[in-house]
Chains A and B, each alone.
Chain A
Amino acid sequence: MHSTAELIIPALILIPLVASILSMLFTTRSVQLVISFLAALGLCVVVQQLYLGLNVDSSTLKYEVGGWAAPLGIGFLIDGLSMLMIILSTFLISVLSFYAAFYFNNKPVAQRFWPLWWLLVTGLNALFISSDIFNIYVTLEIIGLASVALVALNDSKEGLIAALRYLLVGLLGSLLYLAGVALLYHSYGTLSLLSLAEQVEVNLLNLMVLILISLGLALKTAIVPLHFWLPYAHGSAPAPVSAILSALVVKASFYLLVRFWMEILSPVVSNSALMLMGGLGAGAVLWGCVKALRAERLKIMIAYSTVAQIGYLFLLFPLLTSADPEIDSSELRQHTLTAISYFIVAHACAKAAMFIAAGNIIKTLGHDNIAQLQGMAKYMPVSLFTFAIAGASLIGLPPSAGFIAKWLLLNAAVDTAQWWWVIVVITGGLLAALAIFRVLDLAFIKPESSTLAFDKNKSIYKLSPFMPYAGLFLALCTVALGFNAEVIINLVSLGGRE
Chain B
Amino acid sequence: MEGSLYTAIGIAMFGIGLFGVVALAQAMKKILAVNICGVGIFMIFIANSTAVNGSVDYVPHAIVLTGIVVAVAGTALALSLVCRIYDKTKQQVGK
Contact of A171 (CB < 8 Å), options: B34, B51, B85: B34
| Minimum CB–CB distance for B20 against chain A, Å | 10
Interface size in chain B (residues, C-beta < 8 A): 33
Cα of A271 to Cα of B84 in the assembled complex, Å: 47
Cα of A147 to Cα of B37 in the assembled complex, Å: 22
Cα of A161 to Cα of B90 in the assembled complex, Å: 13
A145 beta carbon closer than 8 Å to chain B: yes
**Does B74 lie within 8 Å of A167, measured CB to CB?**
yes
Given contacts A141-B73, A168-B21, contact A157 B89 (CB under 8 A): yes
Given contacts A134-B63, A168-B31, A168-B34, contact A163 B81 (CB under 8 A): yes
Please name all residues of chain A whose beta carbon is closer than 8 Å to the beta carbon of B48 when the two chains form the complex: 182, 185-186
| Minimum CB–CB distance for A122 against chain B, Å | 14
A175 beta carbon closer than 8 Å to chain B: yes
Cα of A164 to Cα of B30 in the assembled complex, Å: 11
| Proximity string of chain B (16-53) to chain A, C-beta cutoff 8 Å, 1 when within and 0 when not | 01100100000100110010011001001100100100
Please name all residues of chain B whose beta carbon is closer than 8 Å to the beta carbon of A72 when the two chains form the complex: 59
B56 beta carbon closer than 8 Å to chain A: no
**Does B67 lie within 8 Å of A167, measured CB to CB?**
no
**Does B89 lie within 8 Å of A178, measured CB to CB?**
no
Contact of A167 (CB < 8 Å), options: B37, B41, B57, B81: B81
**Does A175 lie within 8 Å of B57, measured CB to CB?**
no
Q: How large is the interface on A (under 10, 10 to 19, 20 to 34, 35 or more residues)?
A: 20 to 34
| Minimum CB–CB distance for B95 against chain A, Å | 12
Contact of B74 (CB < 8 Å), options: A141, A157, A163, A185: A141
Residue on B with the closest CB to A151? B81
Cα of A206 to Cα of B72 in the assembled complex, Å: 29
Q: Which of B51-79 contact A (CB under 8 A)?
A: 51, 57, 59-60, 63, 66-67, 70, 73-74, 77-78
Cα of A17 to Cα of B51 in the assembled complex, Å: 36
Cα of A440 to Cα of B59 in the assembled complex, Å: 56
Please name all residues of chain B whose beta carbon is closer than 8 Å to the beta carbon of A149 when the two chains form the complex: 77
**Does A145 lie within 8 Å of B85, measured CB to CB?**
no
Please name all residues of chain A whose beta carbon is closer than 8 Å to the beta carbon of B41 when the two chains form the complex: 175, 178-179, 182
Please name all residues of chain B whose beta carbon is closer than 8 Å to the beta carbon of A13 when the two chains form the complex: none
**Does B81 lie within 8 Å of A160, measured CB to CB?**
yes
Give 6 A-B contacts (CB < 8 Å), ordered by A residue.
Answer: A137-B67, A148-B81, A167-B78, A168-B78, A175-B38, A175-B41
Give me 5 other A-B pairs in contact (C-beta within 8 A), A141-B74, A186-B48 excluded.
Answer: A141-B70, A163-B81, A168-B30, A172-B18, A175-B17
Residues in chain B within 8 A of chain A (CB atoms): 14, 17-18, 21, 27, 30-31, 34, 37-38, 41, 44-45, 48, 51, 57, 59-60, 63, 66-67, 70, 73-74, 77-78, 81-82, 84-85, 88-89, 93
